[in-house]
Amino acid sequence: MSDQIKFIVDNLNKEPFRKNYNLITFDSLEPMQLLQVLNDVLAEIDPKQDVDIREEMPEQTAKRMLSLLGILKYKPPGSATDMSTFRQGLVIGSKPVIYPVLHWLLQRTNELKKRAYLARFLIKLEVPSEFLQDETDISAMEEEKDQLIKRVERLKKRVETVQNHQRMLKIARQLRVEKEREEFLAQQKQEQKNQLFHAVQRLQRIQNQLKSMRHAAADAKPESLMKRLEEEIKFNSYMVTEKFPKELENKKKELHFLQKVVSEPAMGQSDLLELESKINEINTQINQLIEKKMIRNEPIEGRLSLYRQQASIISHKKEAKAEELQEAKEKLANLEREVSVKTNQTREFDGTEVLKGDEFKRYVSKLRSKSTIFKKKHQIIAEFKAEFGLLQRTEELLKQRHENIQHQLQTLEEKKGISGYSYTQEELERVSALKSEVDEVKGRTLDDMSEMVKKLNSLVTEKKSALAPVIKELRQLRQKCQELTQECDEKKSQYDSCAAGLESNRSKLEQEVRGLREECLQEESRYHYTNFMIKNLEVQLRRATDEMKAYVSSDQQEKRKAIREQYTKNITEQENLGKKLREKQKAVRESHGPNMKQAKMWRDFEQLMECKKQCFLKQQSQTSIGQVIQEGGEDRLIL
């Protein structure tokens, strides 16, 4: 077993798998991973098996692998009764089942590749039972089959006599493979063209968006951008910290009130009288509190009432402007979405965005009007800001001036000995003014409150009478909602079960369609191969017929064109050439001995001359040692 695993790991680490496993990692593979390895090996043998088993049902995977192993003539170890165990082990990815299969496949990969390639042309066709019942047609088809077999045998014999027939068959197979590859490349080319077209459209849309964004940012300055960002930050902070919390609190209160109203039962006349009594008690308490507050008459409240009123007015204006701005932003966002939708629709038609004629004029005029309105609004805002700054400065100056006057007045009172006189005078005037105002306000307040109580009572009565049928209807709607919810749950469960059944049927139909398509492709390939062989045999038959006509013809010129005559001529020429070569060979054999002797004598002569040359050179070098040469009255010894 260990030798078997070692062989499997060694072969999986080689080309074309290159899994980079060792004995430990391979033995620790999960069943699903082991099945994927087996599927990869089968895909190397038959490319149709190249699928991801995670996207396939286990039964389909086992059926596909068993079908291919049956075509490859794999025999599981054990008896015929162990086939069910083998199938079950193949489904669950059992190691004792997978390891022998991998070992057997990796031992004879090249042989199995050839068998898998030829199998699609050698698969026995299953004839439907309805065709087998017609004996007349069956006998006619059998006779036709016998005739075709005999014809094929005759054609094979004729083809075998043709020169290079194996090479021609090989070329025909290569032609068929190249045609299939050409169709695949054409389909792939078309898909790439479609992808390129979509990519070009997407690039154009992105370029248009980039162009519009650059055009919008071309005239922008850092100061204006910062100012705009500051305004947006202020607005957003106001919306987050002030407006949205208030709205959320109001919505919560309203929701709580509505929930309370919904949860309460329908009110009767006694309930309404009880509520009216409670309202009267609360109104009485409110009046008492208002009178106590007026009697207390705190000076600080009187001083701050004006500022509170102004702050309340400003706050209301601020909220109103914020709501207007929020509505304008929402309207702008809606318009931008509409523009985006229209732009995308326009781009889907021709890939570009173009404004023509009146549309462009209207767009320009609208843009100009908006620009004019924006400039006016911006000018108004600038004027408001300038006026606000001027008022702030005026307020500061007046406060400072008031403080100086108060300080001078206090100093003067201290000098005169009447310190605090101005404050007391102001307090007396303020108290008298407040008393008159309070009396007037008290009278108005009592009248207003009595009128308000009447309005509230009438409003409560109207609301109760209006809510009574609504609450009754709401109860009925609640019961109906519960029934509809229960019915919806039942329908949903039925829909889910039906959808699951339809999905399983769809997967089965898709599998059947896939199998039929593969069979169609196999039959089509077999048809093209048979058609090509028939055409090839017809060409050879025509050549053979022409050859027989030329051979039996009485015309000598036509007879010379026959292939047999040409071959006879070629054979005669080759025989003459062989005869000449044999004569030349005989002459070479007869002259071989003397020629070899003469070559040996020549080599001996060369050795003799080389020896003489060496001797001469040696003698010359020995005579030159110790020679005395006289030059210019001097004697020199040369060693």
DSSP 526-575: HHHHHHHHHHHHHHHHHHHHHHHHHHH-S-HHHHHTSHHHHHHHHHHHHH
**Contact criterion met (CB below 8 Å) for 638 and 629:** yes
Average pLDDT estimate for 313-332:
77
Write down the pLDDT at residue 450.
67
Q: Of 140-144, 287-291, 371-375, where does mean pLDDT reach its minimum? A: 287-291
Write down the pLDDT at residue 151.
84
pLDDT band per the 50, 70, 90 thresholds, residue 611: very high
The string of pLDDT tens digits covering residues 381-429 is 888 887 787 788 888 888 888 788 877 777 776 776 666 666 666 666 6
H or E stretch including 593? helix 592-623
Average pLDDT estimate for 94-121:
84
User: Taking the CA of residue 238 as centre, how many other CA atoms within 13 Å lie in the half-sphere pointing to its CB?
Assistant: 15
CA 363 – CA 98 distance, rounded (Å): 73
Strand segments, DSSP code E, in 175-329 are none
Closest by CA position to 58, among listed 101, 89, 27, 37: 89
* Dihedral, 524, 530, 536, 537 alpha carbons, nearest 10: -160
Inform me whether the pLDDT recorded for 443 exceeds 80: no
Q: Of 98-107, 336-345, 423-432, where does mean pLDDT reach its minimum? A: 423-432
- Higher pLDDT among residues 228 and 296, named by residue: 228
DSSP reduced 3-state for 258? helix
Rounded-to-5 percentages of helix, strand, coil across the chain: 85, 0, 10
Write down the pLDDT at residue 608.
92
Write down the pLDDT at residue 604.
92
What are the CA-CA distances from residue 491 to residues 3, 496, 500, 502, 504 (Å)?
A: 60, 9, 14, 16, 20
Average pLDDT estimate for 609-618:
90
Q: Which residue ranges make up each domain of the chain?
A: 1-107
- Higher pLDDT among residues 355 and 459, named by residue: 459
DSSP reduced 3-state for 309? helix
Average pLDDT estimate for 569-582:
89
Please state the φ and ψ torsions of residue 636, each to the nearest 5 degrees.
-125, 135
Write down the pLDDT at residue 78.
66
**Contact criterion met (CB below 8 Å) for 46 and 69:** no
Average pLDDT estimate for 307-314:
69
Please state the φ and ψ torsions of residue 628, each to the nearest 5 degrees.
-105, 130
Inform me whether the pLDDT recorded for 76 exceeds 60: yes
pLDDT band per the 50, 70, 90 thresholds, residue 632: low
DSSP 568-591: HHHHHHHHHHHHHHHHHHHHHHHT
CA 11 – CA 99 distance, rounded (Å): 13
- Sign of the alpha-carbon dihedral angle for 180, 186, 190, 195: positive
Average pLDDT estimate for 131-148:
73
Q: Between 421-552 and 269-296, two packed helices, what is the crossing angle to 10 degrees? A: 130
Average pLDDT estimate for 200-207:
79
What are the CA-CA distances from residue 35 to residues 65, 94, 125 (Å)?
A: 10, 9, 30
CA 290 – CA 444 distance, rounded (Å): 12
pLDDT band per the 50, 70, 90 thresholds, residue 601: very high
Give percent of the chain with pLDDT exceeding 90. Answer: 3
Please state the φ and ψ torsions of residue 26, each to the nearest 5 degrees.
-70, -40
Write down the pLDDT at residue 515.
85
User: Taking the CA of residue 301 as centre, how many other CA atoms within 13 Å lie in the half-sphere pointing to its CB?
Assistant: 9
pTM to 2 decimal places: 0.26
The string of pLDDT tens digits covering residues 345-389 is 666 665 555 555 566 667 777 888 888 888 888 888 888 887 787
DSSP 328-361: HHHHHHHHHHHHHHHHHHHHHHHS-----HHHHH
Mean pLDDT taken over the chain: 77
**Contact criterion met (CB below 8 Å) for 559 and 565:** yes
- CA-angle at 308, arms to 304 and 309, nearest 5°: 120
Nearest-Å Rg of the Cα atoms of the chain is: 56
**Contact criterion met (CB below 8 Å) for 76 and 48:** no
Closest by CA position to 329, among listed 251, 249, 239: 239
Write down the pLDDT at residue 97.
87
- Residues in CB range of 137: below 8 A, 6 or more apart: 131
CA diameter of the chain: 169
CA 8 – CA 106 distance, rounded (Å): 7
- Higher pLDDT among residues 597 and 207, named by residue: 597
The string of pLDDT tens digits covering residues 504-522 is 778 788 888 888 888 888 8
Peptide bond into 222 cis (omega under 30): no
Burial profile 208-239: b = 16 or more Cβ within 10 angstroms, e = fewer: eeeeeeeeeeeeeeeeeeeeeeeeeeebeeeb
CA 408 – CA 535 distance, rounded (Å): 129
The correct CATH number of 1-107 out of 1.10.418.70, 1.20.1740.10, 3.30.420.40, 3.40.50.720 is 1.10.418.70
